[in-house]
Chain A
Amino acid sequence: MIRVFAGLGALVLLLFAASLLIGPAGLPVSDSIDALFRGEGEAITLVMREIRLPRALLAVMVGASLGLSGAALQGYLRNPLAEPGLIGVSGSAALGAVLAIQSGLAAAFALALPLAALGGAVGAVVLILLLAGPRGSALTLILAGIAISALAGACTSLVLNLSPNPFAASEIVFWLLGSLADRSMQHVGLVAPFMAAGTIALLSLGRGLDALTLGEDAAAALGIDLARLRLMLILGVAATVGAATAVAGSIGFVGLVAPHVLRRAVGAKPSRVLPASALGGAAMVLAADIAVRLIAPERDLKLGVLIALVGAPFFLRLILTQRREM
């Protein structure tokens, strides 16, 4: 168990370092490190501190957010097919971002797009709490999530449909594919508080999610306040996933696959799967973000596309094993 966590931690550190050292500028390793820590060489310091460092940091933050949210939702719903997009937050955040691009707000100032996306996420939370009620069951949460996702998806399509400007439309489509290219430390600073607060909220759910292994009745009789757990879950997922979508666009599969891959390795207890899945998600996004730079450096291969390409086969395997177990 400790070995799994140590291994995951080491993997994340290794990939983080690799992410800092790999890029189209082709900088020598020792110069890069000098520039990052001591600020030697003007151009190279700029590349390291303003381009590569925010990109690597965001990969860790986005991956950890998605992995953690996926693990928390799976634990709450007691279903390995749950994923962070389920409660409609990522779809609504994407809609906020799309509106910012379409209205030209995104071009007006740098942080307009992520701010609009965060606004979309907040809207989704308000809607979901209204629809699912403060004390509803897991099922009402899923249904409300599906409804909100569908609505946000339809509105996004509508914006694209009515877009008079083909450049805006293509910008929207590319943004929706998900990427970490050309992000700044401002982006890091904007989403870090949301992700930190959401992460604390989700990690605090371990005890309750463990008890839910035995079902809602047994968990309630073990002294777990299910209404409070559900509220913390919604707020935690919304903060982490809303922020992740705001800064990286739509990135699927990480939240679905990371907990699934690591579950048995950590003994399957939800409280253990939470941190393991956060580390696993960070490693996945770091690795994928390195891969998009190595596979097609000239073509701007999108992070979300690559992850979906690799993630879909994992998902198929999950369905096949599930079918065999039934």
Chain B
Amino acid sequence: MSLLTLTDLKSFRRERMVLNGISLHIAAGEVVGLIGPNGAGKTTLMRAALGLIPFSGNSSLMQMVPRLRARHVAWLPQSREIAWPISVEALVALGRLPHGDTDPAPVTAALHRMDLEALRHRPATELSGGEQARVLIARTLAQQAPLLMADEPVAGLDPAHQIATMQVLGDLARGGHGVLVSIHDLGLAVRHCTRLIALDQGRIAADGPPREVLTPALLHRVFGITAHFEDTPQGPIFQPLSTV
């Protein structure tokens, strides 16, 4: 089942074309990694798909009214903003806003999944950066939307929490959700994403399984790097080596 369909998406910012004809599908069961160098258009693509910035072309999300859209897709922005010292539990419960209920079950489940039960009554602003990142992910889980779009959810996390976060995304996909996640760490992307979409200057440079996307030619052309890529018994290992 397709959860997100973009057709010929274009977006301009001050006369400059930031997205230039993006078409893609995201289906249930996929963790799709959106990769590309800084300024390639990753964040713009996700924000345009959600209707947060003007664009031309088609996003299947825009055919829904805002309230239904919020039940269909959960959005985790890159900036980890928590304005007020509200409790972790109250913050996670904000994910229930589109449903208009105060059902505690999804909130409790989300707290459990992100290992936040011990922190549930603490003011969210007093937590460490990594804990806040987990709280904000828990909020998107409480939203119980079939599609999750996350903008660099692992940036700034320690290795253990990076892996744990990517595993949560994988679990979601295995549970029937679809995930679109932008990510800079190609090593994590290779191990945890079922599919990668490489963006380059507002266009899709490659779309497919990690092994087929991260070819030496693409790495050279899009990222300007060489890398070591090996399949091992512990799974694929990808390590960037040098710039070219």
A239-284: which have CB < 8 Å to B? 263-264, 267-270
Kindly state whether residue A49 has any CB partner on chain B within 8 Å: no
Interface residue total, chain A, C-beta cutoff 8 A: 22
B84 neighbours in A (Cβ, 8 Å): 78, 213, 263, 268-270
| Chain B residues whose CB sits within 8 angstroms of the CB of A213 once the complex forms | 81-84, 86, 91, 94
Q: Which residues of B contact A263 (CB under 8 A)?
A: 84-85
Residues of A within 8 A of B136 (CB): 214
In the complex, how many residue pairs between chain A and chain B have their CB atoms under 8 Å apart? 77
What residues on A are CB-neighbors of B69 within 8 Å? 221, 223
Chain A neighbourhood of B203, CB < 8 A: none
Query: Would A222 and B82 count as touching, CB distance under 8 A?
Result: no
12 further A-B contacts with Cβ under 8 Å, apart from A212-B83, A213-B82, A269-B84, are A217-B77, A217-B79, A220-B52, A220-B66, A221-B74, A221-B75, A221-B77, A222-B70, A222-B94, A223-B70, A268-B84, A268-B86
Give the 4 A-B residue pairs with the shortest CB-CB distance, closest first.
Answer: A223-B70, A215-B81, A221-B75, A78-B83
User: Are A217 and B75 neighbours in the complex by a CB distance under 8 Å?
Assistant: yes
Q: Measured between alpha carbons, how far is A52 from B83 in the docked complex, in Å?
A: 41
Cα separation A159 to B86 with both chains bound (whole Å): 46
B97 engages A210 (CB within 8 Å): yes
Q: What are 26 A-to-B residue pairs whose CB atoms are below 8 Å? A: A78-B84, A207-B97, A210-B94, A210-B97, A213-B83, A213-B86, A214-B81, A214-B94, A215-B79, A217-B47, A217-B52, A218-B75, A218-B76, A218-B77, A220-B52, A220-B66, A221-B52, A221-B70, A221-B74, A222-B94, A223-B66, A223-B69, A224-B66, A267-B87, A268-B85, A270-B84
Is A269 a contact of B52 with CB atoms below 8 Å?
no
**CB within 8 Å for A269 and B90 given contacts A211-B97, A213-B84, A223-B70:** yes
Chain A residue nearest to B65 (CB atoms) is A223
Closest to A269 in B: B86
Residues 66-123 (chain B) with a chain A CB within 8 angstroms = 66-67, 69-70, 73-77, 79, 81-87, 90-91, 94-95, 97-98, 123
Chain B residues with Cβ under 8 A from A270's Cβ?
84
CA gap between A78 and B90 in the complex, in Å = 17
Please indicate the chain A residues that have their CB under 8 angstroms from the CB of B83 in the complex: 78, 212-215
Residues in A neighbouring B87, C-beta threshold 8 A: 267
- Contact partners of B50 in chain A: CB under 8 A: 220-221
> A217–B77 Cα gap in the complex (Å)?
7
Which residues of A have CB within 8 Å of B66? 220, 223-225
Specify which of B75, B83, B91 lies most central, judged by the most chain A CB atoms within 10 Å of its CB. B83
Q: Which residues of B contact A (CB under 8 A)?
A: 47, 50, 52, 66-67, 69-70, 73-77, 79, 81-87, 90-91, 94-95, 97-98, 123, 136, 139, 143
Chain B contacts of A78 at CB under 8 A? 81, 83-84
User: Which chain B residue shows the least CB distance to A225?
Assistant: B66
Distance A220 CA – B74 CA, assembled complex (angstroms): 11
Interchain CA distance A267-B83 in the complex, whole Å: 13
Closest partner residue, chain A, to B71 (CB atom): A223
Q: Which single residue of chain B is at the shortest CB-CB distance from A220?
A: B52
Contact B97 A222 (CB under 8 A): yes
- A223–B67 touching, CB < 8 Å: yes
Give CA–CA (A221, B136) in the complex, Å.
14
Q: Which single member of B67, B70, B77 contacts A215 (CB below 8 Å)?
A: B77
Tell me whether A268 and B123 are in contact in the complex, defined as CB-CB below 8 angstroms, given that A217-B52, A221-B50 are known contacts.
yes
Closest to A207 in B: B97
The answer to whether A214 and B139 touch (CB under 8 A), given A220-B52, A221-B75, A222-B94, is yes
Most chain A Cβ neighbours within 10 Å, of B52, B82, B90, B94: B94
Contact B81 A222 (CB under 8 A): no
State the Cβ distance, B194 to closest chain A Cβ, in Å: 24
Interchain CA distance A207-B97 in the complex, whole Å: 8
Residues of B within 8 A of A268 (CB): 84-86, 123
Contacts of B86 in A (CB 8 A): 213, 267-269
A residues 196-224 near B (Cβ < 8 Å) are 207, 210-215, 217-218, 220-224
CA–CA, A20 and B69, complex, Å? 53
Chain A residues with CB under 8 Å of B95's CB are: 222
Alpha-carbon distance between A14 and B52 when the two chains are bound, in angstroms: 48
**Distance (Å) between the CB of A225 and the closest chain B CB?**
7
What is the distance, in angstroms, from A8's C-beta to the closest C-beta of chain B?
19
Q: Are A223 and B77 in contact (CB under 8 A)?
A: no
A296 to B74, CA, bound (A): 59
* A217 and B76 alpha carbons, distance in the complex (Å): 9
Task: Chain B residues near A217: list those with CB within 8 A.
Answer: 47, 52, 75, 77, 79
A153 and B95 CA atoms in complex are apart in Å by: 43
A218–B82 Cα gap in the complex (Å)?
A: 11
